[in-house]
Structure formats: structure tokens, C-alpha cells
Amino acid sequence: MVRDRFPDEPITLAIGDGLNDALMMREAHVGIELHTREGYLPCYAGDIQIASLKVLKHLLLVNGRNISNKIESIIYYLFYCGCLLTLPIFFYNFFANFTATAIFDSLSVFLYTFWFTLIPIVIYGSFDGGMHPYILTTYPALYIDGKRQKNFRWKQFFISSMAEPIIHTLLIFFIGLFAVSNSLSKDGKTDSLGMSALVMYYSIVVVANIRVYWYYNQKKLLCLMFLVLSMVSLIIWIIVEENAHFVDSNYGNETENIFERGSTLLCLIYLLFACGAVSYMIKHFIYGKFFQTLYDWGSEQDAAQDPFFKNTNILRRAYEPLQLGEIAKSCYKSSEFIDPTIQNLISADAKANEMNFNKFTLKFKGSAGIE
């Protein structure tokens, strides 16, 4: 009934021991099976097995929230990395008259995906603790954030995984291509396709790695360490390729030519600052204004230091006055036998708009005298 008839299609959680509620746990979005009896064989009807209800609060408010945020961030990042590498290949076709000239060799594409951008995001998923457990358990109303942010998922995906990499790619491709093509070496030599491609490739790898830093909440120093490790692995690859010649291009000579020319070096530095500025504006202005989370809002209010800040502040920020009559209509629209109390809620005379917040529960008061 809750899944099918409550507004906004809520995500349901079922808790039981599996004796007579196995079907309920399987039907819910998330099922938690409680093992409290010794010698009892579990039926494995739930998605999660716990031994005590004491861990339930931490499981929902901390682990569930942080893991959900990590999965969301990793999905956004994977699409971001894919667009950041493939869009320059698409743009270059217009300059190559669609002759299928490759701007990046296949080995570089492989290493970009499976090595240069892999380490920081794996460390983020494995070790970053997410938001602080004390804050999440002290203010359980922050859990509502998942439901609020669900309405913005596609907008956030479009901004983080499509709009942002498109802007970064336009900066990297056109600035890198024209800055390198108009540069000259000390002996008057012009650039080559390999130089332009390497400037773009190095910029893409560095920008993609720095982009992970925005996702970290606690282990920022660890993130910086592995960012440096990823950059060191890129340098090692250049040295190894120069001696082994895995591809036709000589990355070592091309890299030396890049750093010998002041304009190309300044181009790399400018690209990093420009892409970082775009990411900063998206995070703090677009996200901060239109998709601000309750956690970030509480940080702005300095909730941890304010003794008068309570869950009621978060709830009033999150919710508009709730019409209980609309919920009752959607739940009991097909029922022939309706309790008089519910009938009063459904009737037009009952104005159940007023909400009186407690710390962990909500009380709804209507004109029918219902609490």
C-alpha cells in the first residue's frame, strides 16, 4: 500500500525476523533481517542481516547515506571522465575532414580509463568516511535529504556529467590546439599533431584527477597523496614508452618540446586554473543555490556550534505544510470500509495543514481533533 499509493513513490524499508514476514521483506525496496535467536536458521529474505536493533540507527543514518552518496558520485565521475576524453576526439574530426585520424592512440585511451583516473576514485570509494557520523546521528532529520535530492537527480547528472565536461573539453581542446599551433621552439620549429595531442591529454588527465577532490569529505590529504601518485605514474609511463616504443609517437621528445616552449607551458597552467574555476563556480554557485543539501545548509548556519539548532529547523527547511487529506485519499481511494477518523481527513472540512515538530516524530493536528 505504501509503495503503490503514497505520493512521490517513497522507498520502503521492512524489518523482520523472517518467520512470518519474509514476503514483506522481499517486497520492500530494502529488507533487514533480524537474527536474535540462537540456533535459528536464517531465511535470507532480507538484503541486510543484523544481530541487534542497536545498529539500525547508525546503519540508516550514517552507512546508508554515505554509501548512497558514494555510488551517486562515482556514477557522475565515470560519465564525466568518459565525456572528457571522447569529446576532443569528436571535435578533432571536424579539423581532420572526418578522415578518422586518431588524436589519441588506443593505448593512451586504455591507460586513461584503467590507470591514470582509476586510483583516486577507488580510494574515495574505499576509504573516504563521508559526512561526519556525529552530525548525522545528532540530527537524524538530515536523512530527509535523500528524498529531497531525488527530485534533482537528472538535473545534477546533466550538470556534473555532461555540461561540466563539455565546458572543460571546449577549453582544453581549443585553447590547447591553437596555443600549441601558434608556438615556436628556440630554433624556429613549429608544432606537430603529437604536441597538441599531448597537451590535451596531459590536461585531461590532470583535470580528471583534480575533479575527484571535490567528492572527498574527510580524507582530503589521502586524496592529494594519490593524486600525486597518479601524476607520478603518468611520468613513469612517458619514460617507459620513450625506451620501449609501444606506440609510433615518441612521447619523451614531444614532452620535451612542450616544456621548452613557454607558451605551451603557460597554456597547460592556464587550462588547469580555467577548468578549476569552472568546477568551483558550478559547485558553490549553481549547486549551492539550486541543489543545496541540508547538510551544507546546516554548515552555513554553523549548526554544530549553535545550541539552539535542532531537528525542527531542518524539518522546516525541508518540508512545506503537508496535506494529510491528499495522502488519505491516495491510500484509501479503493477501500469500501473507511474509518471515521480517516473519513474526516478525506473530507474537505478537515484542514490538516498544521505541523508540530518533535525531535524524532511529526504530529499532525487537524480540525477533527486528531493527533
pLDDT at 347 over 80: no
CA-based nearest residue to 104, from 92, 116, 115: 92
pLDDT for 331 equals 59
pLDDT at 234 over 80: yes
C-beta atoms surrounding 74 within 10 Å: 16
Query: C-alpha cell of 270?
Result: 592556464
pLDDT for 352 equals 41
Q: Does residue 244 contact residue 137 with C-beta atoms inside 8 Å?
A: no
> What pTM, to 2 d.p., does this model score?
0.79
pLDDT for 325 equals 56
Q: Does residue 351 contact residue 366 with C-beta atoms inside 8 Å?
A: yes
Rounded mean pLDDT of the chain?
Answer: 78
pLDDT at 111 over 80: yes
pLDDT at 149 over 60: yes
Please enumerate in sequence order all residues whose Cβ is within 8 A of that of 39, keeping only pairs 6 or more positions apart, or say none. Answer: none
Read out DSSP for 161-228? IIIHHHHHHHIIIIIHHHHHHT---TT-----HHHHHHHHHHHHHHHHHHHHGGG-SS-HHHHHHHHH
Any idea which residue has 556514477 for its cell? 75
Distance in angstroms between the alpha carbons of the first and the last residue of the chain: 22
Backbone angles phi, psi at 235, to 5 degrees: -65, -40
* Per-residue pLDDT reduced to its tens digit, 253-295: 777 777 777 777 788 888 889 998 999 999 888 888 888 888 8
Please enumerate in sequence order all residues whose Cβ is within 8 A of that of 64, keeping only pairs 6 or more positions apart, or say none. Answer: none
Least confident window among 58-62, 77-81, 162-166, 311-315: 311-315
More confident residue, 150 or 273: 273
Between strands 362-365 and 354-357, the pairing is antiparallel
pLDDT for 83 equals 93
State the Cα torsion 345-348-349-354 to the nearest 10°: 60
pLDDT for 262 equals 72
Give the single-character DSSP code of 156: H
